[in-house]
Structure 1
Amino acid sequence: MSSPAAPASTSSAAPSRSARDRILDAFEDLLAEQSERAATLEAVAARAGVSKGGLLYHFASKDALVDGVLERFAADLAQDIEHMRAAPDGPVAYFLRTSIPSDNRLERVIVAIARLAQASDARASDALADAQRQWLSELEAVVGDRMVARTIMLIGDGMYYNTALLPAANTVLRDETDLQELIGLVERLSARD
């Protein structure tokens, strides 16, 4: 589930991805790498290795592609929330650790949906807002204070910004030691009495 599948091979070692999944992967990739405008039906079909007719068999329109991506995002988000709840070092540490870019499926789909939201797709904006509410709710349940939970989310946003958008200039979060110290500090500050 972490990245688009390689082209199908005749080997029986790994099952090939379905055409539907390859189409959604291609749509997400084009959105994340370029823009909503670049993710035309023709470009998606070419990237997925299917004919335009094959694409239309699975998704009758670009709107249907958006619906497909949003459905996958909802499933990915539910899985992330479960991982957050079950994390051995706790939800706060999990949230902060996963605020550092790691080139995984969830991150890719969030970027893709953000591109749709930038193009004024209300469904995409709603999906991102819902994700934020769910993460905030999980953090609040652990720390017991909505404002502290919001602060943790803002710290995570800052971590993402510094490590994804300013990697060469990032002097704030340099290595695992910095991350571990930050997690320890946040956990001490958010500890319940």
Structure 2
Amino acid sequence: MPRKPVARDAVLDAFESLLIEVGERAATLDAVARKAGVSKGGLLYHFPNKEALIAVLLDRLEGLAKADADAMASASEGAAAYFIRSSVWADTPLDRVIVAATRLAEVAHEETRRRFAAIQQRWLDEIAADVGPGLARAVLYMGDGLYFNAMLSVGPAPEGGAAADVEELLAALERLRR
């Protein structure tokens, strides 16, 4: 399979960064080209409009989320524990594309919302297969809360940091399983 052109990847990475940094409205084609270090014509060669950029960004989101759900499904510790452990903001490619796509969802981009719903349902299904449907949503909310708080945390982390929070949530999960 031929490798995607470097300029195309640079443009998509620039679009993702701009969404994170300044939001959907400021992530114009001109701003994306400037940040990617390509001409606007070079950008348009790969992405004829902003909707094409969004479509490929959402494909990136879907691919990374699928890989994550596959890892969750095969995790030796179980899907629920995997989900909680992996719910700490780590500036991974998945973290970055989630935040970028969230900026699209904020402006009611329907395809983004549809894809997020499908991804969340896959995660929920994997967790439910591990802990049952009654506990699955609680685990999902534990992980989402951990992710949100880790992402927004400012200043020094508390003693033990997010690792201590993860261990507390895993202990709570074990109590709930009983």
Q: With the length of structure 2 as denominator, give the TM-score of the two structures.
A: 0.89
Of 51, 72, 77, 2:39 maps to 51
**CA pair 173-138 structure 1, distance change in 2 beyond 3 A:** farther
Q: What are the within-5 Å matches in structure 2 for residues 99-178 of structure 1?
A: 99-144=87-132, 146-168=133-155, 174-178=161-165
Residue 169 (structure 2) pairs with residue 182 (structure 1): yes
**CA pair 108-170 structure 1, distance change in 2 beyond 3 A:** same
- Please say if residues 23 and 45 of structure 1, whose CA atoms lie closer than 8 Å, have aligned partners that are also in contact: yes
Structure (1/2) with the larger helix percentage: 2
Deviation (angstroms), 1:77: 1.1
C-alpha distance after superposition, 1:46-80 (max 9, x if no partner) = 11111110110010000100011011111111111
Please, what is the CA RMSD of the aligned residues?
Answer: 2.2
Partner of 1:98: 86
Inter-partner Cα distance in structure 2 for 1:182 and 1:70: 30
Inter-partner Cα distance in structure 2 for 1:65 and 1:175: 34
**CA pair 123-148 structure 1, distance change in 2 beyond 3 A:** same
Question: SS in structure 1 opposite 2:26?
Answer: coil
The one-letter amino acid of 1:123's match is: E
The one-letter amino acid of 2:116's match is: L
Structure 2: gaps spanning 5 or more residues: none
- Please say if residues 84 and 143 of structure 2, whose CA atoms lie closer than 8 Å, have aligned partners that are also in contact: yes
Partner of 2:49: 61
Structure 1: gaps spanning 5 or more residues: 1-14
**CA pair 161-170 structure 1, distance change in 2 beyond 3 A:** farther
Residue 15 (structure 2) pairs with residue 39 (structure 1): no
The one-letter amino acid of 1:190's match is: R
Aligned residues between the structures:
176
- Please say if residues 99 and 160 of structure 1, whose CA atoms lie closer than 8 Å, have aligned partners that are also in contact: yes
Inter-partner Cα distance in structure 1 for 2:147 and 2:104: 20
Question: SS in structure 2 opposite 1:116?
Answer: helix
Inter-partner Cα distance in structure 2 for 1:136 and 1:173: 28
- Please say if residues 150 and 162 of structure 2, whose CA atoms lie closer than 8 Å, have aligned partners that are also in contact: no
Q: Percent identity?
A: 44
Q: Which moved more, 1:55-64 or 1:87-96?
A: 87-96
- Please say if residues 142 and 169 of structure 2, whose CA atoms lie closer than 8 Å, have aligned partners that are also in contact: no
Q: Which moved more, 1:149-158 or 1:168-177?
A: 168-177
